[in-house]
Each structure stands twice: as C-alpha cells, then as structure tokens.
C-alpha cells in the first residue's frame, strides 16, 4: 500500500472507531463515496478493532451497550461497583477487593464477543508490559487473572484525575509550571523506554493529573515491546491503529517502524499544545486527512509566533528551539532520548544554554567551556546571555546585525583559547582578564555590555574575587539604570547582585539598603520571576539573621519558601535554597531537631538535581556537619566536613578561599578531640589560603584566627592566645555584629579562655 493511501485509510479508520457502531455505515458511505476499495480496507480493519483501544484513557464511551458485568458481580477476589467505559478490546470497571472496599481499582476485562487468539495475545502482552513498569507517574498494574469463564482481566491503579490540558487550564498554570508538570511525564516515558516499551498514543486524555498535581500516564495497551524476543504479538503490522493521528509522528501515519523517537514527537506535540493552546501545524482545526498530510509534509510554526501564545521573556527562544527539534520529521534529527529532551527543558528553566541550539558559535563556545575547569563557566554564561539578548531584539534587524558582529568578535577571543596553536595560556585568571578586555569592544552597545558584565561579576563573586566582582557588578547596574530605568525588575536583579557582595564583605547597611530598594522595584514590576523575588527575600532575611533579628529573618525566609513551592514544586533545586536558609536559621537559634530535617531535605534535592559533584552541596554539608557536632556526633560531623572539603577541592581548585571553611571546621573538631598537631595544620592551611586571596573585609580570617587563639591556649601559649582571641572577637563584632554566629562563637572562646585561667585573669572585661 502506498504511503498516501495508508494515511487516508488510517485517518478514516480513526474517525470510524470514534463513531458508534450503528452510525459507521453512514459515515463510510459518505467518506468513501465511489471508492469501494477504501471502504473494504476500513471495514476489514474495523472487524479486527484490536490495537486501537483507549481503555484507561478519557474520554470513553460511557453507557455503551454490550456484554458486561452488573454491579456486585465478583471477578476473582474483586467486586464490581460500576462500569467506567468501553474500548476496542473490552470494558473498564471500578471495583474493590472483597476484603478492602476502601481501595478502589480499575478492572480491565475482555468483552466476551471480542475474544480471539489475537485479542488474547494482545491482552497478555499488555499485562506483560504493565507488570514491568513501576514508576510514580505511570498507572500501576496491581493484579491480573482469568474469570471463571476463561476471560483475562487486569487490575490497575484507579486514577482520579483530569486530562493534563484541562488541569493546566483550570489551575491557570504558568508556562514554567506546565513545563515542570510535563517533566514528570517525560520521566515516566524515559523510564518506559529504558524498559523497552514505547507508548505510541500520547495525548491529553492518556495523561491524567490528580488533585495533588501528580500526572499519571495511562494506557500502555497499544505499546510495543522493543525487544524482538518478547514481541510475540506481531505488533508491527502497519495498518493497525496504535495511535491518535493528530498526535502521531510522521513515521506512525506512514506505517513505518515505531521507536522511542515517535513518543518524543508526540510528547513535543502535547507540549506545544500546552504552551500555545494550539496543536502544531494547525492540526486541531483541519480535517483528519488534511491533518495526516500536514504531519508528514508541513513544518510547525515557532511556538512564540503562534497567535495568542505568550511565552516568558528569556524562555521563548529556547522553547522554540526545543520544540522544533522534538517535532522534526526525521526521527534521527530529534533528541537522542526522552532523557535528553527533559534535560534541555530543565536547562531552559534554569536559564542555561540548551542543546537544541547546537552547531552555532554559541554552542561551540559552550562545548569548550564544559571541557575545562569549573571556573570557565564564565565563558558559557557569557555565551548564553549573548544569545538570549540577541533573540529578544530580533525585531530590530539592523541593530541585531551590529550586535551579532560585535558579539562574534568578543566570543572569538574566548574560543581562541581552545586552539593550542593560538592560545597564550589556559589559566582561569587569564581567561577572565581577557574577557574583561574583550568587553571594551562593546562600548557602543551598553545593553549587551551590561548583560555580560553582570555575568562576569557573578562569576568573580563565586570565585572569591571581591574587587573584580564589585567593579563589574557596579558598572552593570549603572548601565542598566541609565539606559533601562523603566525595566524595574532588571535594575532590581542587579541591585540584588551588588547587595550580595556587600553582605559577603560584612557591609550590612549597604546590603540592606540595596535589598530594600530591589524589593520595592520588584513590587512595581509584574514581569519579575518568582525566583528573582525569592532571592531578594532570602537576601533581606540573611541581613536580619546576621544582625540577630531571627524572628524577622524567619518570616522572610518562609515567604521565599512559599513563593518557590508554589512556582516550582517541592523537589525543585531552587526550593533547596529556602530549606537550607531556614535550616541555618534554626541551627543558629539552637533548634537542632527542627533544623536537621530541613538541611537533609535540601541536600537530597540538590543531589537529585545536580548529582554528587556540584559545589552547591558543600554549604549544606558544612551546616549539617556543624549541626551533628553540636548534637554530640563528631564522627558524622567529620565525615560531612571532609565531603565538603573534597568536593570543593575537586571543583574549585586548591587555591579557592572556600576550602578554608571546611578546613576551619575540621580544625575545630581536631582541637576538641585533643589532636593539637592536626588542628594546627588545618587552621594554618585555612588562614594561609584566606590571606593569599586578599579579599577586602574578609571576616573569615578573623573567624579562623579565633580558632587559632583557642589552639594557642591549648598549646600553653597563654599570652599570644589572649591577644589573638580578643583581636579576632573585636573584628568579628565590628564586621558581623554581636549576634552573628561567628561573633558568638568567638566570644564563647574568649570566655572559655578566662574561665580556664580564672586565677590569673579573674573578671577581666572583654573590651
């Protein structure tokens, strides 16, 4: 059969299967007219009507007449309550076990007159498929058996929910929330593919979302096992209907072999619909024969250009690239797997470069960055922001051409580092210095220069280069104020960045002023994202925490947590920042029992999001270590501290000042254990590292010196110990405030010193 003829047959078959049996003759007569061969083809397939079942999907044909079982009928250990619907291979009932009427199940049973050898093989195949799929987003197979008359049945999880498109519309989910919801579906599909199963009929009715917001993937009854040794059903027959044409891939409607790439295509169509309100290629407004032609021949519009679609600023270009790659006609040009597609969606949500843009200059820059050390993320961030900015300006063609030319000149200088015959050096400092020099070429483009400076400043801040960070962040803020004062959210983000540097360097007054101004601007700009607002709340809370205003800090942290939970869900990596902050506050308050579960949950989320090799884990490990030490478990504390130290050493390099935090913590442990030599080695390493960094106002030096003071006292050097302890305490009190954790600990060390030497220093004041 020719592909065009196959498409025509499949389209008419789909329409006939959704028509009540007594109305099908009239439908066929009207559709086929004088084409008797077409009518015979469709009628022969209708006689089989095997693989086209929509059993556990909705909508179903409620109340369809036909053989079945009345309420109260017992099937094995189950008692039928009511019929839920009928499909091509049987009926679905709501039922419960005789010994547990509180747990409702869906019981799927073959209709009596439909039983044939092929039907039985299909049914057993479905049971085999479902039995191997155990995933929180897939309706589970609970049981199975044969009736007394020899008819097979399956017992499945009964899903109380609504189709995913209806759920999104009724809850008025944001674009980001819809993407997060679909990522759960993608996880289920990736799991099924790993188990050699293709769904082949993805559509809104086959994805029900519960009241709690959990999507459940239904109906693997038409799925095909990829393992030829297990696919004994002959499910590769080209004219069966294992699909819904408007959501089917080109290879499906052409009757070609089906692979996981077909599910990727259908998932892309579903995602396109959820983000734009339309199916790609106008498939929701055309006839079925026209729909299958468009699937095979027409390219979809960019989602951001669909009438009525409003994609968030900064996401539109990346979402266009992701969906158009997923909807490529050729399977080999789509994503290699559902996992790769899901990862690109996550990267889009996180503001990172997406792989769908591979092959461009920006992509090659990203590839180079990923091959190098952690710090070279500077180059990748520059590339991402350049691409994002240019895309937002594409309606201004002439300006875009100028920006593109200048951006290429800047980025070419970075990419030259990958050429062993041209690069002068590959050290991180030289890369950042060269980047700074290259930015001079963008003097005539203040918008682009401001974007790149903001990224450069954040990278310097993360690397501990306080002076360079301040210079870049301050210039970015100044440029944005002068050229985009109406973009309040953009100004607020830059105020937050600069305030974070003030906070890190102990200038609480300056930090608080910037954070307050940023919060006011966010309140005037509805385009600000939940994450941007939450970061601002966290920053305000941290100032309160350092000043000892714990009640105010807790209220702000909890407000940020609520924002993130509502926007992203419990398992999102951004939620972990709120959990970690709240845990730190409760630890500072001395409520160790309440702090520990929050910190462990933050660690779990970050591990799931990043794996074990991301530096975001280190601060949580340090906090957990301090908490376990405070709760009398030094062995566990040392294990956590060493994990943080090893991680920082691997990812940041031997000279990074953040290593000093873990070394200082380990020195406190060694000192408490009486290992004075071990403590001295660690605290000297920490101090040397911090002093080499030469960070202005670095309070961590005074904090480490306070530990050194206790060590000197333990070694018997009483005079030097007193001097160091008092000096470090006074420095911390001035820079961090009397109520900060570091200052309180330093004061406790001074007090302990005088208590041990009461005879010589009885009653000596601390100031």
Catalytic residues: 201
> Cα-atom radius of gyration of the chain, to the nearest Å?
32
Quote the tokens at residue 759: 């005879």
**Spatial distance between the Cα atoms of 570 and 39, rounded to a whole number of angstroms:** 53
Asked if residues 260 and 198 have their Cβ atoms less than 8 Å apart, the reply is yes
Q: How many CA atoms lie within 13 A of 55 on its CB side?
A: 33
Q: Where are the alpha helices (DSSP H) in 484-612?
A: 488-504, 508-523, 530-546, 550-568, 573-589, 592-610
Q: How far apart are CA 652 and CA 649, in angstroms?
A: 6
Instruction: Give which of 551, 547, 598, 554 is closest to 577, Cα–Cα.
Output: 598
* C-alpha 556 chain-centroid distance: 24
Whether 703 contacts 732, CB under 8 Å: yes
Distant-in-sequence contacts of 743-747, Cβ < 8 A, 24+ apart: 745/703, 745/706, 746/702, 746/703, 746/706
In a 3-state reduction of DSSP, which class is residue 109?
strand
Q: Which residue has the tokens 């080209």?
A: 238
Query: What is the token pair recorded at 18?
Result: 């959704």
Report phi then psi at 675, rounded to 5. Answer: -90, 80
DSSP 285: S
Tokens 């030096």 correspond to what residue? 701
Helix (H, G, I), strand (E, B) or coil at 40: helix
- What contacts 548, CB < 8 A, 6 or more positions away? 737, 738, 739, 740
> Contact at 8 Å (CB) between 68 and 147?
no
Contacts of 51 (CB under 8 A, 6+ apart): 88, 122, 221, 222, 235, 240, 241, 242
| Whole-number Cα distances in Å, 610 to 94, 202, 355 | 41, 29, 17
CA pseudo-torsion sign 196, 200, 204, 208: negative
Query: CA–CA separation, 515 vs 434, rounded Å?
Result: 31
| Contact predicate 698/658, CB 8 Å | no
Q: Contact, 272 vs 303, CB < 8 A?
A: yes
| CA-based nearest residue to 709, from 750, 658, 744 | 750
């Amino acid at each position: 059969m020719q592909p065009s003829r196959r498409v025509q047959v499949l389209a008419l078959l789909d329409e006939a299967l959704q028509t009540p049996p007594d109305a099908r003759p009239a439908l066929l007569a009207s559709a086929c007219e004088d084409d008797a061969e077409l009518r015979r083809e469709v009628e022969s397939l209708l006689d089989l009507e095997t693989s086209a079942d929509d059993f556990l999907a909705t909508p179903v044909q409620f109340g369809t007449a036909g053989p079945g079982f009345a309420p109260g009928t017992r099937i094995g250990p189950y008692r039928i309550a009511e019929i839920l619907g009928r499909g091509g291979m049987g009926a679905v009932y709501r039922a419960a076990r005789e010994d547990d009427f509180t747990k409702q199940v869906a019981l799927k049973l073959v209709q009596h007159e439909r039983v044939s050898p092929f039907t039985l093989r299909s049914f057993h195949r479905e049971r085999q498929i479902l039995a191997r799929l155990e995933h929180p987003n897939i309706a589970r197979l609970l049981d199975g058996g044969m009736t007394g008359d020899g008819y097979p049945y399956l017992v499945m999880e009964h899903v109380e929910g609504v189709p995913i498109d209806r759920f999104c519309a009724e809850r008025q989910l944001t674009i980001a929330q819809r993407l997060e919801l679909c990522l759960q579906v993608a996880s289920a599909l990736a799991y099924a593919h790993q188990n050699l199963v293709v769904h082949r009929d993805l559509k809104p009715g086959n994805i029900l979302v519960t009241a709690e917001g959990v999507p459940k993937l239904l109906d693997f009854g038409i799925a095909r096992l990829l393992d030829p040794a297990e696919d004994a059903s002959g499910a590769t027959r080209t004219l069966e209907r294992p699909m819904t044409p408007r959501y089917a891939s080109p290879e499906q409607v052409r009757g070609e072999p089906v692979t996981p790439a077909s599910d990727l295509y259908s998932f892309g169509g579903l995602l396109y619909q959820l983000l734009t309100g339309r199916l790609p290629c106008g498939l929701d407004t055309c006839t079925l024969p026209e729909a299958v032609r468009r699937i095979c021949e027409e390219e979809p519009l960019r989602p951001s250009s669909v009438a009525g679609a409003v994609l968030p600023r900064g996401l539109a270009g990346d979402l266009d690239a992701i969906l158009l790659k997923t909807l490529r006609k050729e399977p080999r040009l789509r994503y290699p797997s559902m996992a790769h597609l899901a990862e690109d969606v996550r990267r889009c949500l996180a503001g990172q470069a997406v792989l769908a843009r591979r092959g461009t200059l920006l992509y090659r820059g990203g590839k180079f960055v990923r091959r190098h050390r952690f710090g070279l993320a500077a180059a990748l961030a520059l590339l991402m922001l350049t691409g994002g900015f240019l895309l937002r300006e594409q309606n201004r063609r002439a300006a875009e051409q100028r920006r593109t030319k200048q951006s290429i000149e800047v980025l070419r200088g970075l990419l030259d580092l990958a050429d062993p015959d041209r690069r002068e050096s590959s050290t991180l400092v030289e890369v950042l210095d060269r980047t700074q020099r290259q930015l001079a070429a963008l003097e005539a483009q203040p918008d682009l220069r401001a974007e790149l400076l903001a990224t450069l400043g954040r990278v310097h801040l993360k690397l501990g280069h306080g002076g360079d960070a301040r210079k870049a962040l301050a210039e970015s803020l100044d440029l944005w104020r002068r050229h985009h004062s109406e973009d309040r959210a953009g100004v607020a983000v830059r105020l937050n960045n600069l305030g974070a540097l003030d906070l890190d360097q102990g200038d609480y007054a300056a930090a608080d002023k910037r954070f307050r101004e940023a919060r006011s601007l966010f309140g005037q700009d509805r385009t600000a994202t939940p994450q941007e607002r939450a970061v601002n709340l966290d920053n305000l809370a941290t100032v309160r925490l350092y000043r000892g205003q714990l009640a105010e800090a807790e209220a702000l942290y909890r407000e940020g947590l609520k924002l993130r939970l509502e926007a992203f869900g419990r398992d999102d990596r951004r939620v972990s920042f709120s959990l970690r902050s709240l845990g730190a506050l409760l630890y500072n308050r001395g409520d160790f029992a309440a702090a520990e579960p929050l910190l462990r949950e933050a660690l779990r989320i970050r591990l799931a999001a990043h794996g074990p090799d991301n530096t975001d884990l280190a601060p949580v490990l340090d906090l957990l270590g301090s908490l376990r030490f405070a709760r009398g478990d030094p062995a566990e504390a040392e294990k956590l501290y060493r994990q943080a130290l090893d991680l920082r050493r691997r990812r940041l390099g031997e000279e990074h000042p953040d290593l000093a935090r873990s070394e200082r913590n380990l020195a406190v442990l060694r000192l408490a254990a009486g290992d004075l030599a071990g403590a001295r080695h660690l605290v000297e390493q920490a101090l040397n590292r911090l002093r080499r960094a030469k960070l202005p106002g670095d309070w961590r030096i005074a904090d480490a010196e306070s530990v050194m003071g206790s060590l000197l006292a333990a070694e018997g050097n009483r005079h030097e110990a007193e001097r160091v302890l008092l000096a470090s305490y006074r420095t911390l009190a001035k820079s961090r405030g009397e109520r900060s954790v570091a200052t309180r600990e330093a004061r406790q060390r001074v007090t302990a010193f005088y208590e041990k030497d009461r005879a010589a220093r009885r009653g000596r004041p601390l100031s």
